[in-house]
């Protein structure tokens, strides 16, 4: 890289302010204090159909979860917010949707066939397998089996985390393919094609959201560590020598994304990787960590991958993946800065962060516990609930008409089951920002409805014809 001339301003990122809180690699991992325990979150997600065990009627499958209607909406909103910030609002990042099954040589070049392994030990009493680095000694310094309390384990053995399958009718080495364990390799092998056809110039990025698969030995903590998950990854190709500035830039950008979507900064931190922790391709990596109820844990890794991947794929494929910089009349293999986030973990962090248990006034003048998800409006699965006071025939046509009017503009839910107070609580606990109630006054006298705000619980009377604009003015449907 030293033979390249000095960078020009076009090669470099805009200045970033230094407000991002870095911590040392060995920072304390103590769990956070939240209104929510993991049990409460899991229970709420199941009860309201957001997330529940996969194939549950057969007893479930460990490390696999299904997302029900509201879970789909929340997950889609997380992905949409990421795409908006990483692609839509930028001129220098383009999207890609690469295939999950790729040529097997991809994974040899990337190092995954040889190196994507975890050390595995087996309990000699119950034969359950665990990641050796996940078994912590207890206060007496002994390592105890979490399943049966056995104390004897086999020696650690390497275990490849990639799922294997076969293409076509024969099952031999010539038909072996891998389920991708990260989306990143799609961006590397398609780099030249995307750069050429999108007419992007370095520095620029390729972004992708999609499923990845890892045969995790110990899936745990609900959707935090699972075997099938989604990733939101972006490979940003830069001129060698400018990589460190771009790394800092992307760390600041990604930090801001979480904060703009309402995550409490005190529950977020940037942890630098120690030298011995770095992946084989990395010059420097940080993790964006969230203070979960179980421990500070990674939401996203932001790595300086150098030119490792493009170099490997050039070598293994025999295709030159270097970039010709016409303005500077230079040819080089770009360096890559990679912010790589998990959709499922991010969604879990937003759920935990938004969960509150509060005392709310009741109609009879007392107080009652209410559970509320104070989700950013952009993330809330339902934006507006339309609630007729009762199923009385005088109210239904107006409530239905209002629902039809709002539906094209916002994600709405029509709910007419049960007492109105109970329906407010139901909407609070899935984070619906506004409830609109149609009552007898609406149809008999004032042509207005009551709009209730999730966070303040204040109620305002709004003319029926003003409701769509009233909601548009108040709903923040994007973070920026």
Instruction: State how far the alpha carbon of 20 is from the alpha carbons of 117, 169, 266, 376, 445, in Å.
Output: 32, 53, 11, 21, 55
Neighbour count for residue 216 (Cβ, 10 Å): 17
Round to whole Å and give the CA distance between 387 and 396: 9
Round to whole Å and give the CA distance between 446 and 442: 5
Least distance between ligand ATP and beta carbon 247 (Å): 15
- Residues 6 or more apart whose CB falls under 8 angstroms from that of 385 comprise 412, 413, 414, 415, 423, 427, 432, 434, 435, 436
Nearer to ligand ATP, 229 or 332 (CB): 229
The answer to whether residues 381 and 49 touch, using CB atoms and an 8 Å cutoff, is no
Q: Does 225 bind ligand ATP (CB under 6 A)?
A: yes
- Residues 6 or more apart whose CB falls under 8 angstroms from that of 470 comprise 451, 462
Least distance between ligand ATP and beta carbon 221 (Å): 9
Q: Does 388 bind ligand ATP (CB under 6 A)?
A: no
Fill in the DSSP letter of residue 221: T
Round to whole Å and give the CA distance between 291 and 268: 6
- How many chain residues bind ligand ATP (CB under 6 A)? 16
Chain residue whose CB lies nearest ligand ATP: 342
Least distance between ligand ATP and beta carbon 304 (Å): 13
Least distance between ligand ATP and beta carbon 27 (Å): 15
* Binding string, residues 246-285; x marks residues near ligand ATP by CB under 6 A: ----------------------------------------
Q: Which residues pair with 66 in a beta bridge?
A: 52
Round to whole Å and give the CA distance between 374 and 430: 9
Least distance between ligand ATP and beta carbon 236 (Å): 15
Nearer to ligand ATP, 349 or 384 (CB): 349
Exactly one of 36, 50, 234, 299 binds ligand ATP (CB under 6 A); which one? Answer: 299
**83 φ, ψ to 5°?**
-65, -35
Nearer to ligand ATP, 256 or 282 (CB): 282
Instruction: State how far the alpha carbon of 138 is from the alpha carbons of 92, 155, 353, in Å.
Output: 50, 19, 30
Q: Which two three-digit tokens encode residue 163?
A: 């799922």
Positions in 321-360 near ligand ATP (CB under 6 A): 340-342, 344-345
Region near ligand ATP per CB under 6 A, out of 164-172, 199-207, 226-234, 377-385: 226-234
Nearer to ligand ATP, 42 or 226 (CB): 226
Q: Which residues pair with 67 in a beta bridge?
A: 51
Least distance between ligand ATP and beta carbon 302 (Å): 9
- Give the residue among 378, 419, 401 at the shortest CA–CA distance from 467: 401
Round to whole Å and give the CA distance between 42 and 464: 38
Nearer to ligand ATP, 65 or 335 (CB): 65
Least distance between ligand ATP and beta carbon 270 (Å): 13
Q: Does 298 bind ligand ATP (CB under 6 A)?
A: yes
Least distance between ligand ATP and beta carbon 287 (Å): 7
Nearer to ligand ATP, 51 or 299 (CB): 299
Positions in 157-196 near ligand ATP (CB under 6 A): 182
Q: Does 300 bind ligand ATP (CB under 6 A)?
A: yes
- Give the residue among 275, 179, 281, 282 at the shortest CA–CA distance from 231: 179
Round to whole Å and give the CA distance between 82 and 77: 9
Region near ligand ATP per CB under 6 A, out of 17-25, 28-36, 252-260, 295-303: 295-303
Identify whether 203 is preceded by a cis peptide bond (ω within 30 of 0). yes
Least distance between ligand ATP and beta carbon 299 (Å): 6
User: Which secondary-structure segment (H or E) carries 423?
Assistant: helix 420-428
Q: Does 216 bind ligand ATP (CB under 6 A)?
A: yes
Least distance between ligand ATP and beta carbon 219 (Å): 7
Round to whole Å and give the CA distance between 32 and 353: 10
Region near ligand ATP per CB under 6 A, out of 65-73, 95-103, 222-230, 239-247: 222-230
Round to whole Å and give the CA distance between 282 and 260: 28
Nearer to ligand ATP, 231 or 427 (CB): 231
Nearer to ligand ATP, 118 or 307 (CB): 118
Q: Does 214 bind ligand ATP (CB under 6 A)?
A: yes
Q: Does 76 bind ligand ATP (CB under 6 A)?
A: no
Least distance between ligand ATP and beta carbon 223 (Å): 7
List of residues contacting ligand ATP (CB under 6 A): 182, 214, 216, 225-226, 229, 231, 298-301, 340-342, 344-345
């Amino acid at each position: 890289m030293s033979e390249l001339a000095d960078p020009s301003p076009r090669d470099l990122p805009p200045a970033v302010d230094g407000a991002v809180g870095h911590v040392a690699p060995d920072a304390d991992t103590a769990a956070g204090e939240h209104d929510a325990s993991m049990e409460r979150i899991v229970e709420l997600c199941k009860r309201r159909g957001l997330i529940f065990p996969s194939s549950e009627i057969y007893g479930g499958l460990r490390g696999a979860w299904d997302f029900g209607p509201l879970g789909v909406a929340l997950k889609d909103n997380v992905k949409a917010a990421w795409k908006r910030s990483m692609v839509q609002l930028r001129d220098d990042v383009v999207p890609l949707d690469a295939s999950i099954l790729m040529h097997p040589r991809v994974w040899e070049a990337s190092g995954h066939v040889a190196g994507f392994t975890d050390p595995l030990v087996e309990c000699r009493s119950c034969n359950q397998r665990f990641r050796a680095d996940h078994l912590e000694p207890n206060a007496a310094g002994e390592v105890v089996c979490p399943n049966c309390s056995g104390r004897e384990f086999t020696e650690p053995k390497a275990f490849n985390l990639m799922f294997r399958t076969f293409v076509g009718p024969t099952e031999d080495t010539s038909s072996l393919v891998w389920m991708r364990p990260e989306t990143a390799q799609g961006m590397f092998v398609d780099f030249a094609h995307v750069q050429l056809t999108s007419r992007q110039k370095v520095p620029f990025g390729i972004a992708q959201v999609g499923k990845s698969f890892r045969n995790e030995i110990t899936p745990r903590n609900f959707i935090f560590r699972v075997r099938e998950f989604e990733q939101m990854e972006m490979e940003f190709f830069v001129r060698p020598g400018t990589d460190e500035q771009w790394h800092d830039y992307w760390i600041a950008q990604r930090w801001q994304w979480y904060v703009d979507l309402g995550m409490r900064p005190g529950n977020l931190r940037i942890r630098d990787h120690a030298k011995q922790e770095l992946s084989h391709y990395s010059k420097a990596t940080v993790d964006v960590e969230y203070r979960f109820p179980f421990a500070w844990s990674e939401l996203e890794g932001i790595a300086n991958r150098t030119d490792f991947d493009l170099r490997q794929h050039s070598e293994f494929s025999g295709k030159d993946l270097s970039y010709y910089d016409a303005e500077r009349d230079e040819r080089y293999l770009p360096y890559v800065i990679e912010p790589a986030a998990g959709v499922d973990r991010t969604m879990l962090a937003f759920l935990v962060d938004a969960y509150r248990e509060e005392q709310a006034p009741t109609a009879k003048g007392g107080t009652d516990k209410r559970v509320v998800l104070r989700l950013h409006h952009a993330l809330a699965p339902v934006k507006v609930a339309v609630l007729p006071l009762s199923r009385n025939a005088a109210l239904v046509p107006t409530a239905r008409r209002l629902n039809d009017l709002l539906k094209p503009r916002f994600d709405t839910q029509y709910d007419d089951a049960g007492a109105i107070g109970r329906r407010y609580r139901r909407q609070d606990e899935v984070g619906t920002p506004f409830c609109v109630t149609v009552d007898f006054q609406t149809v008999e006298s004032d042509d207005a409805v009551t709009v209730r705000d999730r966070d303040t619980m204040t109620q305002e009377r709004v003319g029926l014809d003003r409701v769509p604009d009233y909601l548009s003015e108040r709903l923040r449907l994007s973070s920026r």
